[in-house]
Amino acid sequence: MAGSSSESRVVVGLDFGTTYSGFAYAHKSKTNDIYTYYNWPRVGGGKPYCKTLTALYYEPGDGSVANQKSWGHLALTDYVKDLAHFQKMKARSQVDLPALGTFAIRFKLHLADKDVGESSAANLPPGFTVARVITDYLRNLGTTIMRELVTKYGQHVTVESVQWCITVPSIWSNKAKLLMQKCMMQAGLLKSADSPGGSPHPLSIVLEPEAASCYCHHNMPELNLQQGDRILVADIGGGTTDIVVQEWIGKSYENYSVKEVTCSSGGLCGGTYVDENFKRLVHAKIPCLRQFTDKNSSSFMTNVLKKWEEIKCSFGDVLTIGEDFEISLPPALAKEWQAFDEEKGFRVRDQYDELSLTHSDMKYIFDPVVDKNLELIAHQLGQTTDVKVIFVVGGFAGSPYLMTRIKDRFKGEVERIISPVNPGSAVCQGAVLLALNPTGIVSRVAKKTYGFKVSRNFQPGDPEEHSSLVGGVKKCDVSFMTFLKKGDTVDVDQCVTKKLTPLTSKQRSLRLTLFSSDDPSPQYTVGPSVKEEASLVFDIKESVGVTLPSINVSLYFGRSTIEVQAVKENSGNPDRVHQLQVPVDFSGDWV
């Protein structure tokens, strides 16, 4: 077994997506050979794809005791089969109906902050938590990955020799990023204090648009980017959209080196929201559809969604412009739909065995989501100048309509708008490339203002309700001590250090609470624009009565997650008391 000091042999880029997930990998002895996995189980044929369904199916029961039955594409197959059997028994008026298991999809969206947008994630049943289902999914994915690595490289490759790189949206909070790390540990992929297994190498958390940027640079040398050229990367996946603007500062094509120009941004406007609009339209066109599916086999909706996926991927192509799309309906539904219209006195249609989607219908389905993406791109372009290229990657980038709208909107503002071949694999391959070139990202732009809550002498205008007397001196207890301002550019390894001390020499501990704010210059740690990020507690009891101790707190803001270090002074024996990523507390509904 490799020890923590041994070098990793294989780098794995793991793209855990809202709708689909996949991975790429490379052996460190052959860094030019990056492989993407395509051999996922498929049901009903179809061409190979670089990802499998992000889904789990559990046996019946409370989440605290239910066992997993299947995952990926097979989870959907098993769920549909069990649901069809359930509905069949229900139609026969069976008293003892078979119990249905739990089918979990789109659970990644539970990690998105509420201020990012309205999530389409379904609530999890009792006993299930977001951490539980993500951990279970990663465990299955890890098993497939290790089986592939052993097949490719031999038995000497174990989980201890893997450097894991997991991709996350740039719009995720620090708490969401750290929850992914915890789930990787619980899945047995990362070494933790509670488990002897897993990789001893630190997890690399890679921001999805940055991985996509690296992939595009590596696979498109013909762009001939020069120092100072700026690019915009729009990673438009199943659930999230992430956008980053970078400036190329490398001296050669081989020397990938970029810096962030603006605050990265994004929202919940990926391809699954188009699917939701489609479902709403279908139910609006067929008012009796819900009661039909409640008492009939669910295979109908499964077939409809398969047909819809074909339509979605072709809409906007030159061959489909102006055409209507037809979806065949089963005779039983056609009969029930006609009877419903006649009973309600609605105008009887010419035919009920097909559902027609006109061009106007398709625009109704697509435009609300596409328009959000266009505005996100426009906002980023408005923050800077001289953007040369727009790269569009992610699963939804395969939509001809989305690409046509992007090109029509921005063709006069940038020289080129490109979606690379196989845009769905850009993120996982880019994660491997960044792991092999960890200095490629030079600096980032702070999306929020960060600082600690401190107590200082009270000043006119300070909130009276947050004041106190310490040694006869009136204090304001909610002052915001800024470490980094929103919009500041910070190098990846740059840290900000400040000295903090307790209020009195009698304190036995010092609590530091880190806050973030959308306000560039917040005065207080209370108010709607301020959010608590983490709380750290330092033991200073050995200094009581001797001298007033101080703690030098250093924060690294330029990395993909915020990191905190602290060194205690004036305690007789200075020592580092904390070296950790925040938040340190995983309390909350996710766990």
Q: What residue has token string 């938590």?
A: 129
CA distance linking residue 152 with residue 136, whole number of Å: 25
Binning pLDDT at 50, 70 and 90, where does residue 22 land?
Answer: very high
- Max CA pair span of the chain: 92
* CB neighbour burial string for 312-329, b if at least 16 within 10 angstroms, e if fewer: beebbeeebeeeebeeeb
Beta carbons of 217 and 196 less than 8 angstroms apart: no
Binning pLDDT at 50, 70 and 90, where does residue 43 land?
Answer: low
pLDDT at 572: 46
Percent of the chain whose predicted confidence (pLDDT) is above 70: 89
Question: Is there a common fold for 222-268+383-439 and 446-581?
Answer: no
pLDDT at 297: 61
Among 354-368, 425-439, 530-544, the range scoring the smallest mean pLDDT is: 530-544
Is the per-residue pLDDT at 545 higher than 60? no
Q: List the beta bridge partners of residue 448.
A: none
Q: In whole numbers, what is the pLDDT of the chain averaged over residues?
A: 86
DSSP 8-state secondary structure symbol assigned to residue 67: P
Binning pLDDT at 50, 70 and 90, where does residue 574 land?
Answer: very low
Q: For the chain, what are the domain ranges?
A: 10-206, 222-268+383-439, 271-365, 446-581
Is the per-residue pLDDT at 28 higher than 60? yes
Q: pTM for this structure?
A: 0.87
Q: Which CATH number fits domain 222-268+383-439: 3.30.420.40, 3.40.50.970, 2.60.40.3080, 3.20.20.140?
A: 3.30.420.40
User: How far is residue 179 CA from its own chain's centroid?
Assistant: 11
Q: Which CATH number fits domain 10-206: 3.30.420.40, 3.60.70.12, 1.10.730.10, 1.10.540.10?
A: 3.30.420.40
Beta carbons of 295 and 391 less than 8 angstroms apart: no
Q: 117-134: per-residue pLDDT in tens?
A: 667 777 888 889 999 999
CA distance linking residue 431 with residue 425, whole number of Å: 10
Binning pLDDT at 50, 70 and 90, where does residue 2 land?
Answer: very low
Q: 472-492: per-residue pLDDT in tens?
A: 899 999 999 998 999 999 898
pLDDT at 590: 37
Tokens of 82: 């069990």
pLDDT at 578: 42
Q: Which residues contact 336 (CB under 8 A, 6 or more apart)?
A: 288, 292
CA distance linking residue 20 with residue 55, whole number of Å: 8
Q: 217-266: per-residue pLDDT in tens?
A: 888 888 888 889 999 999 999 999 999 999 999 877 677 899 999 998 99
For the segment 357-378, the average pLDDT, to the nearest whole number, is 95
CATH node for 446-581:
2.60.34.10
Beta carbons of 283 and 290 less than 8 angstroms apart: yes
28 vs 565: which has the higher pLDDT: 28
CA distance linking residue 483 with residue 517, whole number of Å: 12
For the segment 462-479, the average pLDDT, to the nearest whole number, is 92
DSSP 8-state secondary structure symbol assigned to residue 136: H
Binning pLDDT at 50, 70 and 90, where does residue 198 land?
Answer: confident
CA distance linking residue 282 with residue 96, whole number of Å: 33
pLDDT at 45: 59
Is the per-residue pLDDT at 577 higher than 60? no
pLDDT at 124: 87
∠ Cα 195 197 198 (to 5°): 110
Which segments within 350-466 are labelled E, that is strand? 354-357, 387-393, 416-418, 441-445, 449-457
Tokens of 122: 């379904």
pLDDT at 581: 40
Which of 465-479, 484-498, 562-576 reaches the highest mean pLDDT?
465-479
pLDDT at 559: 77
* Burial (0-12, 13-18, 19+ Cβ within 10 Å), 30: exposed
Percent of the chain whose predicted confidence (pLDDT) is above 90: 53
CA distance linking residue 364 with residue 588, whole number of Å: 38
Q: What residue has token string 């809409």?
A: 315
pLDDT at 396: 92
For the segment 453-463, the average pLDDT, to the nearest whole number, is 93
Among 312-321, 395-404, 500-509, 578-587, the range scoring the smallest mean pLDDT is: 578-587
